[in-house]
Amino acid sequence: MLSVDRYVPRRGFVFWAVWSIAVAAWSAIVSSTHNERHLDRLEWIAFGVVAAAVGCLVAIDVAVKRLPLVISYGSLALASVLLAMSWRSTWSGIGSAATGATSMFAIAWLLSRFRTGLGRGDVHVAPLLGLVIGWFDPWNVLIAWFFTLLVGGLVSALLLGSRRIARRSTIPYGPFLVLGSAIAISLAV
């Protein structure tokens, strides 16, 4: 039986506040593309699935520093099927989305091997974000990683400088992945 109880934070207000901010930010970035790309209903539903999953994942990562694979891969599968079924879907669109997901996963896997702070959960969330980035422009995966590492490094440096964390402390990297992906998507449009 599948249980996600260990991932549900006990601090309800923080969970819902972070969740709603993440979903609102992700939805705003994706909805800003409506004027230029004319997204169809299945694309809206797919991006809504990703927005809900990203919101939950960010809230869980901030609260307990874990990213459940059930949410990551479940929403990846559902969003992939919905994007493939959209009326604007072509082989090149599906290929670019798959390229984005695969390259985002490959870069995350490589970075996790060099002690950059990426954990196993971050590696498994990367394809979900790469799918959406790739749907717009797969080359923007590199921009997403640039901003992810830049913002994550700056926040880590600020926390180290203010002595809020120690040198060996860990911080949740999921929010930085989402922020970098949101910036890449906004630049792709």
pLDDT, tens digit (0-9, with 9 covering 90-100), for 140-160: 999 999 999 999 889 888 888
Distance CA 40, CA 180 (A): 25
**Predicted confidence (pLDDT) at residue 13 exceeds the cutoff of 60:** no
Per-residue pLDDT at 92: 80
Per-residue pLDDT at 42: 84
- Is the model more confident about 122 or about 115? 122
Distance CA 107, CA 58 (A): 20
Distance CA 160, CA 49 (A): 35
- Asked whether 97 and 79 are in contact (CB, 8 A), the reply is no
pTM for the whole thing? 0.81
- Is the model more confident about 129 or about 90? 129
* Domain count for the chain: 1
Q: What is the mean pLDDT of residues 111-138?
A: 89
Per-residue pLDDT at 22: 65
Taking each helix axis as running N to C, give the angle between helix 120-136 and helix 174-188, from 0 to 180 degrees, rounded to the nearest 10. Answer: 10
Q: Which domain holds residue 148?
A: 5-188
- Asked whether 21 and 51 are in contact (CB, 8 A), the reply is no
Share above pLDDT 90 across residues of the chain, in percent, rounded to a whole number: 28
- Is the model more confident about 104 or about 13? 104
Sign of dihedral through CA atoms 174, 179, 183, 185? Answer: positive
Q: What is the mean pLDDT of residues 124-145?
A: 92
Task: Flag the least confident range among 37-41, 43-47, 63-67, 170-174.
Answer: 37-41
* Residue at 127: amino acid letter: P
Distance CA 26, CA 118 (A): 21
Residue in 26, 2, 15, 9 with CA at minimum distance from that of residue 132: 26
Per-residue pLDDT at 45: 84
Distance CA 43, CA 129 (A): 15
Q: What is the mean pLDDT of residues 105-131?
A: 90
Rg (C-alpha) for the chain, rounded Å, is: 16
Q: Please state, as a whole number, how many other Cβ atoms lie within 10 Å of the Cβ of residue 67.
A: 24
